Amino acid sequence: MAEDEHEEDDVVRPRPFWSGVIAFGLVSLPVSLFPAVRGKRLSLKMVDDSGTPLSRRYFCEHEQKVLSSDDIVRGYKADEHRYVVVEDKELEELAPEKSQEIDLKRFVPLDEIDPIYFERAYFLVPDGDVTKAYRLLAKSMEDEERAGIATFVMRGKEYLVAIMAERGILRAETLRFHDEVRSPEDIGLPTKKKPAKDAVTRMQKAMKALTEKKLDQDALVDRYTHQVLETVKKKIKTGKDIIKAPEEEAAEYATGDNVIDLMQVLKERLQGKSPAAEDRTVEEHEKKPARKKNHGDGKKHPAGASSKPASLEDVTRDELYERAKELHIPGRSSMSKKQLMDAIRKH
């Protein structure tokens, strides 16, 4: 086998968070939404002195007991002594209607969007044979220095996004809503006063001495994380402070060394290659009508129940939540992935 084929095996193709279409006017452009940022490299888990991973529990101070998910309800604090209970069913009824459309409402100049509104970055990758239309939209937006403002629904929540183009690629930034952003007056910044001209000159001179033409990527290194990881590697090499987790927990928390190559996905899509079958998202799964399965016991089991409980390990928490929703499992909103799996298997 060729060396590049070995390298291909070490690459994990990222799965999109969402798939649908960008729609405005007569244009309908199928795209997938991929996160533009990676998760934190440093993850320190809480374990006991025997290496068993710990889990968080809700504890009632009044009754001095640990609560199960069935004992917990959601409450909005009305005043110091009262809470308004909001049921899961009520939240589900108020959730926005599922949609596979990014509704592009308007275009605005790029410099009109204050970066303080940016929340999380994504890449918009073309789906199917739409490369020409994708490139046309990206070039037009980039040449005109415009951002598209749109709304879309992802995982039961409506988002406001700014769609921007850079180097022929469309990127989406989810935006904070206006009431989430503080103004200078909110935090008591002093009233603006005109500084002395000579003080401004000195400041500009000091800035010029430190000015560089480009941002050095080495300046964006997380040195603390790097130092902690180096400490961990030394301990692994010397065998110091190593505790062995029980086999079951060790398997559950195991992670692979494969590299997620989003840029390879972008390259393939822009070359007109069709997306891989494994790139289906939770939303695509939800669009398909659930089928009732006969599990060999003569009974019709509810949609979402699996004849192979082990397969639940391979799906996301959001997919497990949807199954729990179909099974009407109470308290599902506050459950962890493991709790959802246990509840579905028990049901």
Percent of the chain at pLDDT > 70 equals 76
Place 116 in a pLDDT band, splitting at 50, 70 and 90: very high
Q: How confident is the model at residue 274, as a pLDDT?
A: 54
Q: Is the pLDDT of residue 255 over 60?
A: no
Q: Is the pLDDT of residue 7 over 60?
A: no
Please give the residue that has the higher pLDDT: either 7 or 49: 49
Place 279 in a pLDDT band, splitting at 50, 70 and 90: very low
Q: Tokens in use for 10?
A: 């070490």
The DSSP code sequence of 148-185 is: EEEEEEETTEEEEEEEEEETTEEEEEEE--GGGSPPGG
148: CB partners within 8 A, 6+ apart:
22, 24, 104, 106, 107, 141, 162, 163, 164
Q: Is the pLDDT of residue 46 over 90?
A: no
Q: How confident is the model at residue 200, as a pLDDT?
A: 92
Residue 19's beta-bridge partner residues? 32
Place 94 in a pLDDT band, splitting at 50, 70 and 90: confident
In angstroms, the CA 304 to CA 307 distance is 10
Please give the residue that has the higher pLDDT: either 73 or 270: 73
Please give the residue that has the higher pLDDT: either 35 or 290: 35
Does this model's pTM top 0.95? My answer is no
Residue 150's beta-bridge partner residues? 104, 161
290: CB partners within 8 A, 6+ apart:
303, 304, 326
Q: Is the pLDDT of residue 240 over 70?
A: yes
Q: What is the mean pLDDT of the chain?
A: 77
Percent of the chain at pLDDT > 90 equals 20
Q: How confident is the model at residue 263, as a pLDDT?
A: 67
Q: How confident is the model at residue 194, as a pLDDT?
A: 86
Calculate the alpha carbon distances from 256 to 12, 39, 54, 338 in Å: 10, 14, 21, 19
Q: Is the pLDDT of residue 86 over 80?
A: yes
Please give the residue that has the higher pLDDT: either 145 or 285: 145
Q: Which domains occur in the chain, in start order?
A: 3-41+95-184+261-277 (2.40.290.10), 289-346 (no CATH)
Place 262 in a pLDDT band, splitting at 50, 70 and 90: low
Place 109 in a pLDDT band, splitting at 50, 70 and 90: very high
Q: What is the mean pLDDT of residues 53-65?
A: 87
Q: How confident is the model at residue 51, as a pLDDT?
A: 84
**Total count of residues recorded for the chain:** 347
Q: Is the pLDDT of residue 143 over 80?
A: yes
Q: How confident is the model at residue 213, as a pLDDT?
A: 87
Place 198 in a pLDDT band, splitting at 50, 70 and 90: very high
Q: How confident is the model at residue 272, as a pLDDT?
A: 63
pLDDT digits (tens, 9 = 90+) for 26-44: 778 888 888 888 777 788 8
In angstroms, the CA 306 to CA 180 distance is 41
Please give the residue that has the higher pLDDT: either 147 or 14: 147
Range with lowest mean pLDDT among 14-23, 66-75, 131-140, 273-282: 273-282
Q: Is the pLDDT of residue 87 over 60?
A: yes
Q: Tokens in use for 183?
A: 């103004």
In angstroms, the CA 53 to CA 253 distance is 9
Q: Is the pLDDT of residue 219 over 70?
A: yes
Q: Is the pLDDT of residue 230 over 50?
A: yes
Place 221 in a pLDDT band, splitting at 50, 70 and 90: confident
